[in-house]
Structure 1
Amino acid sequence: MIGLINTSYTIGAIVAGFFIAGPTADFLGRRWGMWIGCLITVIATFIQTFAPRHQIGAFIAGRVLIGIGQGMALTAGPVYIGEMAPSHIRGYIMAFWQLFYSVGSFIAYWINYACSLHREALGDWDWKMVVIFQMMVPIIIMVLLPFQPESPRWHIQKNGNIEAAKASLRQIRDTEAEVEEEVLGIREAIEYEKEAISHSYSALFKDPSVRKRMYLAFVLNVGQQLSGQGTLNSYSTAIYKKIWTSTQTINLINALNATFGILFTLNAVWTADRFGRRWLFIVGALGMAICMLIVPVVGMTTPDLPNGAKSQPVGIAIVFLLFLFIFFYKPSWGAATWIWTSEVFSMNVRAQAVGMCSQMQNVANTVFQQFFPTFLANEGLKCLFFFMAMNVVLAVFVYFFVPETKQVPLEEIDVLFGGANHVDKGAQMMGQTLPSGAANLGEKGAKE
């Protein structure tokens, strides 16, 4: 039942990511994609919070709806950020996407800890308080979104509205020359995609370079969950119960873990555009593998107390190692996976591809969460050896197959995957004698 409650969310998110989020963000705009997703999340929060007593079906239905809402928002969000950010600081800005994910975990776990201290006084509101706070940030986003400019790339792709695209860029670029140059690059790339490839989602399968990116992004997003983070996030309490008997202590550890997660994610801010995505992936995976090797070794080679728990020094050592795991995960497979996925696809398929690829995280999570409770019950901490092995495999995969994308303009990224230079080709179609300045910058970034 616990596995079903956890996976009901991911099933909703998968449905949204594969079938709803991309078309919504492409047809209505990136802002509307986020706004509608937030609205569904708010409605679903009320369904969960006020589900009739002992009606677990209503609670699970709310979880499915929250998955749909989040699947829509989590598709449009990174696409919007990637399309608005200047190429030379795109990784820097996207790192804050993961940072505020950590802020959300921080708020949730500390609310949970505070409620656990007053469980008797709160009664049912012990858990309802945790659930109802899910709508706080979506409401803030819904209020703020109408005041944000729409993606200039969407304006040109959807309506050919060049003036609206320029108006959006003027709010977030320093000079008129930057605006003109970027708009020209966008127009050239979209012209080529529309005429030479496909203006529809069929390009996901027609263009070999897009297919290659999609398969690589599938592996990276599945790998994010098989690194161990998704499972540790969902089942940290069950794992800590192998070490401690106090629920209050476990809730405090989870809250502290979320607090440190914010600090650890900050590392992506200064590393993503300095050392690159590949460096983060490889260092992060190897660091997580070492942690997943040492934790079960410590757990299996130290004696149990009469109550089945571990001594306090052993418990502290294991918690330190799991915190160290988060130190490696947050800036790498936490942040860099989102950065890489949101920036590698061309405009004609970006929203749909990001929706599908990012939801591969939930596909992996749905499958794994169904059998992990049994895995943990039968094997104890030895199950963490699985994550150690997976992280080594992921590091090798990135080293041999994943190209570096730092500071490459979005319209030029196809070259890295064996595709045509969309800006140059589009410039030729539009009768431009020279490629735009953005194209030249893209070739320089690709070579680097």
Structure 2
Amino acid sequence: MPTSKRLYNWYIALVAAMCMVLYGYDASVFNAAQGSDNWLEWFDLDLKADANLIGLVNTAYTIGAIVAGWFFGGPTADYFGRRIGMGIGCLLTIAATFMQAFAPWHNLGCFIGGRVLIGIGQGMALTAGPIYIGEVSPPEIRGQIMTFWQMFYSVGSFIAYWIAYASNAHKATLGHWDWRMVVIFQLLVPSIILVLLPFQPESPRWWIKRHNNVDKAKEALRLIRDSEEEVEYEVLAIREAVEFENEAVGGSYLALFKDPSVRRRLYLAFVLNVGQQLSGQGTLNSYSSAIYKTIWPSSQTINLINALNATCGILFTLNAVWTADRFGRRWLFIVGAIGMGICMLVVPVIGMTTPNVIGAKGTATKTEPVGIAIVFLLFLFIFFYKPSWGAATWIWTSEVFSMNVRAQAVGMCSQMQNVANTIFQQFFPIFLANEGLKCLFFFMATNFVLAVFVWFCIPETMKVPLEEIDTLFGGQNHVEKGGQMLGATDAQDTNPRRNSSEVRQNDITRERNV
């Protein structure tokens, strides 16, 4: 039975994880909005004639997110704190929502400006959120808690698509509010986060790293750790790691490029985050409606499929709760990539080997049974993606960097997803138009290559304390070296999960004397 403090630990981590709802909602809201004839009319757009302009609307968000993730998110989370970083991101999201929902008639520039601003806000929140979760979570359940970070992406999609489905069902009554309703509901979750954030503790690691305030760090840890021994051990480990990083590695972000161990992690995390999008998920999330339109003419049917997809995404992500800390991150990566690769092989094979029929508008399309088979396989793709390259990528990225560069590194790595998406989505519509479902063979090949990459290059981080991650990448143990600098016994030896209470107490006493 979990203790009250462990439950509170889960609660504060889940509040931070709600930042991912912003990402999931916005990634889905444009897919839903561009399916509205009223949205197209309001901004005087034509899906075919203005394809490049519509693509720019989608790209505007990613540009804002990339700029924030690379240049603002890390420094803000490091200087002002993880909670402030999340709060600023939520405030910008709220402001941008009003810009999009109430953009003047035919003023697409205002809507695009809102997309850029919402990207900046989410770039800030998506940098601070996973760092906060990793820093407050015990190592033995860190993977389980971070699973909910990815799950809340699906929650965002769930809310967006079901609102789009309901709005589309009543579009005759709603008029131009059919797309505004989808956009305006983006206010809901960031408003909740802003209300809850001030009442939860700041990261204890930030208190020591930024202010060298041991008392505040202990105060925060006492709210989420079951015993004073655990608090003393963790503070000791953090102090030792910070001491080593400041003296031997350097407290600035230059360590990202000067330290070979950190640089290796940065490159590996870049590949994982780019791979997450080139697996096919990012593109399918933006262009699934375009694929479904080749089979079903009804926008209501397509909205229902997208809503069901988002619903299943929540359930599928929960598989990582019991697998991430049992079988490990590598296992999830490899199994997920192979499963996604097989799905991306079978879908185009079905499309190529089944006959076309002439649809109601005189265009070639597939029969409904073939369409159902394709939808099933795309749902199966999500079954493999969500707990693996969806959840495990965020878990691995948020836990592998040392404290001196963690905020900046996570911001840069997470936004590599948007870098990959921005580049690939510029030519995917043309790819899809020219090759049809055969374009999915590209994703098949990518996923099989990713499985091989993980097998040879990615070390397992399951249940390893954050301060000891460096040893997995050829670096020195920051806790051990920092303990030597402080003249204290290595905090590993005082770990309450490993040794007797007498040994732990002796080491804690020595640390206090120092």
Q: TM-score, normalised by structure 2?
A: 0.85
Shift of 1:243: 1.8
Tell me the distance in 2 between the aligned counterparts of 1:52 and 1:312.
Answer: 40
- Partner SS state of residue 58, structure 2: helix
Aligned residues: 442
Shift of 1:104: 1.2
- Which one of 360, 377, 380 corresponds to residue 436 of structure 2? 380
**Residue deviations 1:98-139, cap 9 Å, x none?**
111111111111001111111121111111111111121000
Q: Where do 5+ consecutive residues of structure 2 fail to align?
A: 1-52, 499-514
The residue identity in structure 2 corresponding to 1:235 is: Y
Tell me the distance in 2 between the aligned counterparts of 1:438 and 1:341.
Answer: 27
Bigger Cα displacement from structure 2, 238-247 vs 16-25: 238-247
Determine if contact 1:423/1:439 at 8 Å carries over to the other structure: no
| 1:391 aligns to 2:447 (yes or no) | yes
- Which one of 366, 370, 393 corresponds to residue 422 of structure 2? 366
The residue identity in structure 2 corresponding to 1:125 is: W
Tell me the distance in 1 between the aligned counterparts of 2:187 and 2:414.
Answer: 22
Determine if contact 1:243/1:309 at 8 Å carries over to the other structure: yes
Tell me the distance in 2 between the aligned counterparts of 1:89 and 1:362.
Answer: 28
**Residue deviations 1:155-200, cap 9 Å, x none?**
0000000000000001111001000000000000000000001101
- Which one of 68, 82, 85 corresponds to residue 134 of structure 2? 82
Residue in 2 aligned with 1:409?
465
- After the TM superposition, which segments of 4 or more aligned residues of structure 1 sit over 3 Å from their partners? 433-442
Residue in 1 aligned with 2:167?
115
| 1:419 aligns to 2:475 (yes or no) | yes
Residue in 2 aligned with 1:181?
233
- Partner SS state of residue 201, structure 1: coil
Shift of 1:21: 0.3
Determine if contact 1:209/1:418 at 8 Å carries over to the other structure: yes
- Which one of 256, 269, 293 corresponds to residue 204 of structure 1? 256
Aligned alpha-carbon RMSD (Å): 1.1
Bigger Cα displacement from structure 2, 78-87 vs 3-12: 3-12
Residue in 1 aligned with 2:395?
339
**Residue deviations 1:25-72, cap 9 Å, x none?**
000000000000000000000001001011111100100000000000
- Which one of 344, 356, 366 corresponds to residue 412 of structure 2? 356
| 1:159 aligns to 2:211 (yes or no) | yes
Tell me the distance in 1 between the aligned counterparts of 2:324 and 2:412.
Answer: 23
Tell me the distance in 2 between the aligned counterparts of 1:222 and 1:243.
Answer: 30
Tell me the distance in 2 between the aligned counterparts of 1:6 and 1:124.
Answer: 20
Residue in 2 aligned with 1:215?
267
Determine if contact 2:233/2:491 at 8 Å carries over to the other structure: no
| 1:225 aligns to 2:277 (yes or no) | yes
Shift of 1:440: 10
Shift of 1:88: 0.5
Tell me the distance in 2 between the aligned counterparts of 1:437 and 1:31.
Answer: 32
- Which one of 56, 66, 84 corresponds to residue 4 of structure 1? 56
The residue identity in structure 2 corresponding to 1:252 is: L
Determine if contact 2:229/2:496 at 8 Å carries over to the other structure: no
| 1:58 aligns to 2:110 (yes or no) | yes
- Partner SS state of residue 244, structure 1: coil
Determine if contact 2:90/2:191 at 8 Å carries over to the other structure: yes
Tell me the distance in 2 between the aligned counterparts of 1:240 and 1:253.
Answer: 9
Q: Where do 5+ consecutive residues of structure 1 fail to align?
A: 443-448
- Partner SS state of residue 365, structure 2: coil
Shift of 1:436: 3.5
- Which one of 297, 308, 314 corresponds to residue 349 of structure 2? 297
The residue identity in structure 1 corresponding to 2:390 is: G
Determine if contact 1:155/1:165 at 8 Å carries over to the other structure: yes
Residue in 2 aligned with 1:276?
328
| 1:130 aligns to 2:186 (yes or no) | no
| 1:35 aligns to 2:87 (yes or no) | yes
The residue identity in structure 1 corresponding to 2:236 is: L
The residue identity in structure 1 corresponding to 2:446 is: M
Shift of 1:150: 0.1
Determine if contact 2:345/2:441 at 8 Å carries over to the other structure: yes
- Partner SS state of residue 359, structure 1: helix
Bigger Cα displacement from structure 2, 93-102 vs 338-347: 93-102
The residue identity in structure 1 corresponding to 2:188 is: M
Determine if contact 2:233/2:496 at 8 Å carries over to the other structure: no
Shift of 1:86: 0.1
Tell me the distance in 1 between the aligned counterparts of 2:129 and 2:443.
Answer: 29
